[in-house]
Structure 1
Amino acid sequence: MLRRDFLKYSAALGAALALPPWSRAALAAEPPPLPVPELLTRDSQNRLRLTVQAGHTRFGGKAAATWGYNGSLSGPALKLRRGETVTVAIHNQLAEETTLHWHGLEVPGEVDGGPQGIIPPGGTRTVTFTVDQRAATCWFHPHLHGKTGRQVAMGLAGLVLVEDTEIRQLPLPGRWGIDDVPVIVQDRRFSADGQIDYQLDAMTAAVGWFGDTLLTNGAIYPRHAAPRGWLRLRLLNGCNARSLNFATSDRRPLYVIASDGGLLAEPVKLEALPMLTGERFEVLVNVSDGRPFDLLTLPVSQMGMTLAPFDKPHPVMRIQPVGVGSSGALPDTLTTLPALPSLEGLTERRLQLSMDPMLDMVGMQLLRQKYGDRAMAGMEHGGMNHGSMGNMHHGDGAFDFHNANKINDKAFDMQQPMFAAERGKPERWVISGEGDMMLHPFHIHGTQFRILRENGQAPAAHRAGWKDTVRVEGGVSEVLVKFNHPAPKEHAYMAHCHLLEHEDTGMMLGFTV
């Protein structure tokens, strides 16, 4: 039944999905059950343990070398409660260094896990912190400078669920893996022998590393049997560079209830939900009618590119309602968001994101060589028409791209923070991508902020709550930030583009609090 529905739906789109042969075979087979990460809570001594390890995972019938936390791929979900103090021991069994960054958690710089928090091969790093923020869906991943993209591509990512008294009093679906479901979406590219095919080169430094296979919780097009009623999806765009745009195959609405840093004031009804890399949104979907449907990602054009198979609606997972008994409902109101304070007299910081023009040219030339003219259709940015670069002589990728992406004309320097913020004092950050025209999902450590303007526009309703990532794409975005914890020079917070290949090649700064 599920195979027949999927094939019928694909035909309605007008074309078969242009996937690698072994991926097409996987989609034609019975969808596998959605893998659900284990939910870990602190033990009687308030401790958690994470082991970074190598293993193998099968994708489309072939075994690939992968990395994971407490397993061979991805990681568990950690459940934390506001007000509790937790100690996490992180043991690195890889043959190389790594770090573990708590993306979205408001914790001191010394435990934040940025590029300074190196865990050597065979080593252990133990961090202790007190949870002091609103309920939210956050995540953890590596942050080793120059290698973040590769380590995430190999599989290192896990969720963090923060709970508080307010959210426990709401009638939201709350049975983990049943009607409260994590949906971690990542794209991957595989070599002919089925291995993860990651490269950091001039092309990916310019536009990012894109895969041609979509994974949901590590599986290709899985299915989830959900009880009829309201289904809660905790969405994470865990891709290195690809933006996603979630929708349903039968156009049933998504009700957004929370963004990166917690609950919205009230649910926001959407037909499509765009998500940048690193962003999280929680949505409720009504599955009371019992009809199966697909969660999709709609085509997203990045820098003028929409390459197959993502030039058509692409299935993320199949949702099959069964029986009855959802544990929750959709509330009319969720929380009270504090009013924005006056902006007069606030410290204002201006950050200009930029790419070396040579990297821009070399990267686009390599992109054209790899994908042909179809990749360049409509691409014109930075005042340069990349469709007329036939005389470029940098196709060998010899250009040094490692420090070509910059903020305020400086590539990342771990030894030299760019500025010092004052603890507890609101600041206005103005982040510009003008003249660049590239997409930059800009992420700030150690805080959840409010968006004032996003590319010159007022934020959409579902983006007006607490956020840690803002869209910067050829325009100016402004955010209101405040840091409640210290960050000394040796453990400075980071602010960076969360397109991981931009981050790895210099578009990052450190700052102290």
Structure 2
Amino acid sequence: MSRLKRVLIVLGSVAAVLIAAIGGGFLWLYADAKVSTAGSTEFTRELAIPPLAQSTVRADGTRVFDLTMRAGRKEFEPGKQTPTWGFNGDYLGPTLRAERGEKVAVRIKNTLDEASTVHWHGMHLPAKMDGGPHQMVAPGGSWTPNWTVDQPASTLWYHPHPHGATEKHVQRGLAGMFLLDDARSKGLALPRTYGVDDLPVVVQDVKFDGATFDHGHGLMASVGFLGDRTMVNGTPDPYKQVGDERIRLRLLNASTARVYTFGFDDDRRFALIGTDGGLLERPASMDRVRLSPGERAEIVVTMKPGERTVLRSYPLDAGLDFWNQRFSGGDDSFDVLQLRAAATLRPSPDVPARLGELEVPDGKDTVRGRHFDLRMSGINGRSMEMSRIDETVTRGTSETWTVRNDNGMPHNFHVHDVQFRVLEVDGEKPPAELLGAKDTVYLPSGTTMKLAMRFDGPADPDTPYMYHCHLLYHEDAGMMGQFVVVEKGQQAGKVRTPHAHAWH
């Protein structure tokens, strides 16, 4: 009995040590998962402004841009050269700009050693021009998509979309803005001088392992990559000297997994004037706006002579559980961009009380409803399959899509080609930041949204568009489906599994 006692005591002691070690390890992981640069950033670098892409106009009126995907090196830290990818440069890409009604063509060359694509996020265009995973461009290859711009003024963007590798390609630096203008927006008294009082703000979170990017996923992070600092337009710790009373910030969450809650360090209010698909009907005054990966927001902030204010990302208030709040980055905060007002500012007019007219359906003419259940295992229980058409929609009709996330982790939802109206969030009227035209929405676990959209064509039964979670780790893992647009009575065609072509 005494020997058994001793054995039990030893075993109990070992178990206690193991439990303490495991508990201590978890507490260390939990504490280490929280990241914050708020209040400690020195803002030592002037904000880089992506150049406006040069273009030529053909005899038929087509505006032609050139984009080359290429490898490069960039000095993010003094004396350290980081391997990168970019469009027409070492990191990120130029800002493309076109007007409603214009024909555009983009001559794309791929000089990388991997096949990739260029997807026009938020653009209404034919499926064959969409730049999804079915339009791969081989190393050394080229592709020239062309279409007519037929949507309101808005802040869109472009990025790669290769199936299974989108996260990696975006992280390396392949992204840029695509701005659309129209007659109505040009007639509004809004800040509009690009790079002066109308600023592109491409926000990414990054982590460095010495001189190279660290793209590893945290041990407990089910959302994907989460960095420990942010950059704007490829600039770490950025500031921008401004000389106007009102500044328009075109916010783009170009991160692959992180959700930002943007506000200012002094809690000043700003005017939200636009969302993914263009201007709101009227501005909304707020002090926070939340953007998940892929979402955009246009805000106007008022400055006083000589003052400084910091655009900050605050901890996420989205009803996440204990685990996801910490390990999905919900407790993190970042100083993103400092605005420095000149001693004397050019006066700016008030933000107009009326801005635009929404061109998205209100749900009253819906002819069909569809349901989408978001899970890491796939959407509606099916993982992405390149040769399978999941949904077939009829050109010229409106539908209401009900999207639900009860997966126990955050997701969001992006639909190619269309802008939609958020009708309901958990049965209630959506908040101000979801009242405009949208193509991407954030759904914390336990959230259900109803989205109204119209499919205006053109019909193409053989070439699909995508819908997917835009947390890119989730997308790459199979949280994506495909739909085709067909004429009334037409059936979906047979989609061929693509391989990269050196298209011309």
Measured against the shorter chain, the TM-score band is 0.7 to 0.9
Cα distance change, pair 308–135 in 1 and its aligned pair in 2 (3 A): closer
Counterpart in 1 of 2:256? 240
1:187 aligns with 2:187: no
TM superposition shift of 1:203: 5.9
Name the CA shift for 1:224/1:310 in 2 (closer, same or farther; >3 Å). farther
Specify which of 388, 391, 394 is matched with residue 419 of structure 1: 391
Q: How far apart are the structure 2 equivalents of 1:119 and 1:431? A: 32
d(CA) in 2 for partners of 1:423, 1:200: 41
Is 1:451 aligned with 2:422?
yes
Matched, 1:406 2:378: yes
Match 1:336 to one of 328, 344, 357: 357
Contact map agreement 1:186 1:214 (CA 8 A) in 2:
yes
Q: Distance in 2 between matches of 1:119 and 1:130?
A: 22
8 Å contact 2:366–2:399 — kept in the other structure? no
- In the alignment, structure 1 segments of 5+ residues that lack a partner are 1-16, 356-404
- Higher alpha-carbon deviation: 141-150 or 482-491: 482-491
Out of 489-498 and 423-432, give the one that drifted further. 489-498
How much has 1:279 moved relative to structure 2? 0.4
Counterpart among 240, 263, 268 of residue 279 in structure 2:
263
> SS at the partner of 1:506?
coil
Deviation of 1:343 (Å): 3.8
Is 1:54 paired with 2:71?
yes
Residue 365 of structure 1 is matched in structure 2 by: none
Structure 2, gaps ≥5 residues long: 1-32, 486-504
Partner Cα distance (1:496, 1:309) in 2: 21
Structure 1 residues 110 and 201, CA, compared in 2 at 3 Å: closer, same or farther? farther
Amino acid at match of 1:109: A
- Give the structure-2-normalised TM-score: 0.83
The structure where strand makes up a greater share of residues is 2
Kindly provide the amino acid, as one letter, of the partner of residue 452 in structure 1: L
1:100 aligned onto 2:118: yes
Give the counterpart of 1:432 among 376, 393, 404. Answer: 404
The aligned amino acid for 1:441 is N
Distance 1:75 1:449 in 2: 27
**TM-score with structure 1 setting the length:** 0.81
CA apart distance, 1:312 = 5.5
Deviations 1:311-344 (A, max 9, x none): 4542101100113225654111112336954547
Instruction: Give 1:160 shift.
Output: 0.5
Q: 2:154 touches 2:179 (CA, 8 Å); kept in 1? A: yes
| C-alpha distance in structure 1 between counterparts of 2:217 and 2:312, whole Å | 28
Counterpart CA distance in 2 for 1:156 and 1:78 is 14
For 1:286 and 1:220, locate their aligned partners in 2 and report how far apart those are by CA, in whole Å: 24
By how many angstroms is 1:274 displaced? Answer: 1.0
Q: State, as a whole percentage, how many aligned pairs show the same letter.
A: 36
2:50 maps to which of 12, 32, 37: 37
Supply the distance in 1 between the matched residues of 2:288 and 2:153 (Cα, whole angstroms): 24
Query: How much has 1:289 moved relative to structure 2?
Result: 4.1
Measure the CA separation in 2 of the matches of 1:168 and 1:103.
23
1:472 aligns with 2:489: no
RMSD (Å) for aligned C-alpha atoms: 2.4
Contact 1:297 1:314 in 2 (8 A): yes
- Higher-Rg structure is 2
Q: Match for residue 229 of structure 2?
A: 213
Residues 262, 313 of structure 2: 8 Å contact kept: yes
Alpha-carbon distance between aligned partners in 1 of 2:359 and 2:175, rounded to the nearest angstrom: 32
Name the CA shift for 1:60/1:162 in 2 (closer, same or farther; >3 Å). Answer: same
Instruction: Say if 2:164 and 2:477, in contact at 8 Å, map to a contact too.
Output: yes
Q: Which residue of 2 aligns with 1:306?
A: 326
State which of 337, 360, 370 in structure 2 corresponds to 1:317: 337
Structure 2: distance between partners of 1:310 and 1:207: 11
How many Å separate the matches in 2 of 1:266 and 1:49?
36
Cα shift at 1:463: 1.1
Shift in Å, 1:220: 1.3
Give me the whole-angstrom Cα distance separating, in 1, the residues matched to 2:119 and 2:355: 29
Q: Distance in 2 between matches of 1:138 and 1:253?
A: 24
> Deviations 1:2-32 (Å, cap 9, x if unpaired)?
xxxxxxxxxxxxxxx9879xx99x944x621
1:73–1:119 distance in 2 versus 1, CA, 3 Å: same
Contact 1:94 1:122 in 2 (8 A): yes
